[in-house]
Structure formats: C-alpha cells, structure tokens
Amino acid sequence: MYGRRIAFSLLLAFFLISVGLVGVLITLPLNADALLIDIKPGTAVRTLAKKMFSQGLIPSAWLLEGTVRLLGGRIQAGEYPLAGETTLSFAQNITFGKRYQYSFTIIEGWDLSQLIEALQTDSNLSHIREISFEEISHNYESFLAETYFFEKGYESDHLLARAHLAMFQVAQSIWEKGCREVMRSPKDLIVLGSVIEKEATLSTEKPAIANVLLNRLEVNMRLQADPTVFFAVKKPYTQPLNREDLRTQSPYNTYLVSGLPPGPIGTVSKSAIEAACTPKQGEYYYYVAKGDGTHHFSKTHDEHIRAVNQYIRGQDDNQG
C-alpha cells in the first residue's frame, strides 16, 4: 500500500512537472531573427515543425505539432510573423490564418498620379492588370488618406475600392452629425476637404482654413484657392502660378467659377472632412501664407492686402 502511494506520488509529480514544462515552453518567445516565415501550400504540420526545430526557431517540434492538432490539425499557407510570437500564438496564427499584415499609406493631398505610382511600386501588392489613370478617374472620385493593411499578394484594385468606400463611409458619418447648410451632401464635404487638404500645411490649421472657405461659399464669394488652379492646369507645385494660369477656363478654376469644384482635387483625410463640417468659428474671408507653414487670416480685404504686402512682397524683397 505504501509502495503504491509512493508510485502515485512520483507519477503525479512527473505529470505536474511535465505540464509545467509544457506551459513554460509553449509560452517562450520564438528564437527568431527573421521577421516572417512563408508556409507554402500543402505543407504538413509535422514537416513544418521539424524544419522550424532544426533551424532553432522553436523549442520543440512535437509541442508545435501537438498544439496545432489540438486547435484543428490543419495549417494555412501564407506569410506569418515570427518576431514576438510564442509556440502557442504561432500555432494559433497558422491554424486560423492570421497572416502577416503589410501596410500601404495613402498620403493626404496626393493627386491620382502620385497614388498610382505608389501602388505600382509596392512589391507586396498584386497587380493583376495595369492601373489606368483614365479608368480610375472615371470610376472613383477620391480616396480616404489612411493606412490600409493587407496580406501579401493583395490586389491593388481591391485596395483602391476599399479606400474609395472608406472615403464615402467617413463623409456620410460626419455629414449625418450636422454640418453648415452650405454643405449639402457628403460629396460636398469631400470636395471642400480636398481643397482644405491642399491649402493646409499644418493639420492644426485645417479648421481655420475651412472657416474661410465656408464663409466665402455662404456669401457667394469665389474660393480663389490656388490648389484648384494647379489641378486645372496640371502644373507641379514647384512652379508658381502665373496670370495666364489664373485665366484658364476650367470648372476647377475657383478664380473664375463660383462654388465648389465639380470633384475632389486630391486624396482627403478624415480630419479635413471634419474641418469642412465643423470649422473654426470666426468671420474670416481671407488668408495668406506666411512662409513658415502657417497662414495669416483676415476679416476684410484691406487687412488682407496689408498681410500680402507683409508676407508675400516682403519675402520677395528679402530674396531680391
């Protein structure tokens, strides 16, 4: 009887030690210098476990295989993160298909050509067909400036569709909260937001710039926003506008046409759309760039002219 108790105690101790050891091993960080591992289609869990153990990536092959089998037994192909993972979390990832996520950021104020170039040079995206400037400009009006996550090989067409849908979902959500009356639709928010995006060097100035533009719209003043002319004449921002540019006949030239342009002039962030809906309060109708990324805001034309003389002509005199 006494011998049985000793045997049972030893067996229990061995079991508890084994469980404790498994618990330690399964939660140890993987010994991985590499960021990712690419699991090919048809790879068996045993083959994967043995290979990873032989490379010193995991503390135990049977532990990874056993964990996967307890979770369902089948692994999914794809790229998976190694850094910061444990045997348990890695087993969960490869069983449930939680693959590594790449990112693509649409920058605020990008024009369509900049967006297309960035997409085409991203090697992690799949380009089933060449992205056409004409096709995109016809099918999509704008895209939300945001960071989008995707798995390796994600189609660039799908990313564009997501960014386009996200744009209108954000604009619709903001518009439904109640905006100034001159903003008659979510599209108006997007269009004005695209102008704000181009005019504001600093994100903190977006509400103040929105205030000026909305005040002008409400009294039927032309926006006279330089970015709309750059868009109309397809001129790079490195080249200054001239009088001929300002006289260009285009529905986007807000020096000649009242109201909003017919469509967005670039990608738009959520903050610019929010500014178009709820701008800073004030009776300002003019602004001029001060040369340091900020603007001087004026209530009257006379005040604006004085600011132009100070900041624009003053800069020219200093450069001369």
- Which amino acid, one-letter code, is at 314? G
Q: How confident is the model at residue 238 (pLDDT cuts 50, 70, 90)?
A: confident
- Length of the chain in residues, anyone? 320
Q: Which helix (H) or strand (E) holds 147?
A: strand 147-150
Arithmetic mean of pLDDT, 223-230 = 96
- Ranges in the chain annotated CATH 3.30.1490: 17-96
Q: Is the per-residue pLDDT at 172 higher than 80? A: yes
Please write the tens of the pLDDT for every residue from 115-141.
989 998 999 999 866 766 677 766 677
Q: Which of 123, 120, 122, 124 is nearest to 99 (CA)?
A: 124
pLDDT at 26: 61
CATH 3.30.1490 fits 17-96, yes or no: yes
Q: How far apart are the C-alpha atoms of 121 and 234, rounded to whole Å? A: 23
The pTM of this model reads 0.82
- Roughly what angle, to the nearest 10 degrees, separates helices 156-175 and 112-120? 140
